[in-house]
Amino acid sequence: MPPTIDMAVVFGRKSRHLAHAAIATARRAERLFVTGETGKDSGDNPRFGISESAYLLSAISFAGVGLSRVSVDPYHPKNGVDNARNTMRMVREIEGVTAIGTLVGVMHSTQTRRLGLTLATEAERGGIIVDTLSLCASPYPFDPYNRFDQNEAAFEIVRMDELAREGVFARPEGLDKHLPYATDLLKYHQERFKAENPPILNPSTADNTLRTVHPDELQAMYLQNK
């Protein structure tokens, strides 16, 4: 991670590993944007009405980091592309920024390549000049023998293929070499997961040792730190 950070974007997920990376980044960044609603990476947050960004904000606040330099995506993103696009929109339209010295993207370790490409592309399309883009992957202990980690890695390859076909970013070099294997592995795991009753939560989103707060309490904390 760079010693000084002009701006950082945290791509939401319920993960204590990502939360720790977000906290470390928040302590260095001049400006921090936290994204994420509810989706496949939210773990059990939806049961409590907690978004991914609210989960991460609570972790940052309880670590003693003030929220005055932190902003949350207000545009209700549905995926990583929305997260990056909305953040760059906020940077340009609300913050009035068209040039960033050092921009850091913070994300779960398995999603680094896809989200990094997305962030770089959306910054360029938004007319924002970035001198240095650094990616900070969460310290998640990826296990190639773990079926959840296998499934997620395969999903990332297939998803990058979809996004490249949609023109979200240029097709990554070497993607086609791994795509057939990833597609078969993803299909295998999806069929296996469907057969399980009850389903088992992905440990990367289920493992949570951080306290999560109600959105109203979080809003009060944010206003107190303004």
Q: Are residues 56 and 117 in the same domain?
A: yes
Q: Are residues 30 and 94 in the same domain?
A: yes
Q: Are residues 125 and 33 in the same domain?
A: yes
Statement: residue 222 has pLDDT above 50 = no
Average confidence (pLDDT) over 181-202: 76
HSE (side-chain half, CA atoms, 13 Å) at 37? 13
Flag whether 185 is in a domain. Answer: yes
Q: Are residues 131 and 151 in the same domain?
A: no
Average pLDDT across the chain, whole number: 86
Average confidence (pLDDT) over 153-179: 95
Structure tokens at 80: 């990583």
> Out of 122-126, 179-183, 195-199, which region has the weakest mean confidence (pLDDT)?
195-199
pLDDT: which is higher, 112 or 209? 112
Domain that holds residue 99: 7-140+208-225
- The share of the chain scoring above pLDDT 90, in percent, equals 61
Statement: residue 31 has pLDDT above 50 = yes
Q: Are residues 112 and 216 in the same domain?
A: yes
Each residue's pLDDT tens digit, 73-123: 888 888 999 999 999 999 999 889 999 999 999 999 999 999 999 999 999
CATH number at residue 80: 3.40.50.620
Flag whether 108 is in a domain. Answer: yes
Q: Which SS3 state, helix, strand or coil, does residue 36 take? A: coil
Q: Are residues 155 and 190 in the same domain?
A: yes
Flag whether 212 is in a domain. Answer: yes
Statement: residue 225 has pLDDT above 50 = no
- Band (pLDDT 50/70/90 cuts) for residue 214 is very low
**Alpha-carbon separation of residue 122 from 84, 126, 162, 181 (angstroms):** 6, 6, 17, 29
DSSP readout, 52-67? HHHHHHHHHHHTT--S
Flag whether 220 is in a domain. Answer: yes
Q: Are residues 132 and 156 in the same domain?
A: no
Average confidence (pLDDT) over 29-41: 90
| Residue 203: per-residue pLDDT | 57
Q: Are residues 128 and 177 in the same domain?
A: no
- The share of the chain scoring above pLDDT 70, in percent, equals 86
Q: Domains in the chain: how many in total?
A: 2
Average confidence (pLDDT) over 196-222: 50
DSSP 8-state assignment for residue 92: I
Q: Are residues 147 and 85 in the same domain?
A: no
Flag whether 81 is in a domain. Answer: yes
| Residue 183: per-residue pLDDT | 94
Q: Give residue 145's identity as a one-letter amino acid code.
A: Y
- Band (pLDDT 50/70/90 cuts) for residue 205 is low
Structure tokens at 30: 């001049």
Each residue's pLDDT tens digit, 36-61: 988 888 877 778 788 899 999 999 99
Q: Are residues 71 and 121 in the same domain?
A: yes
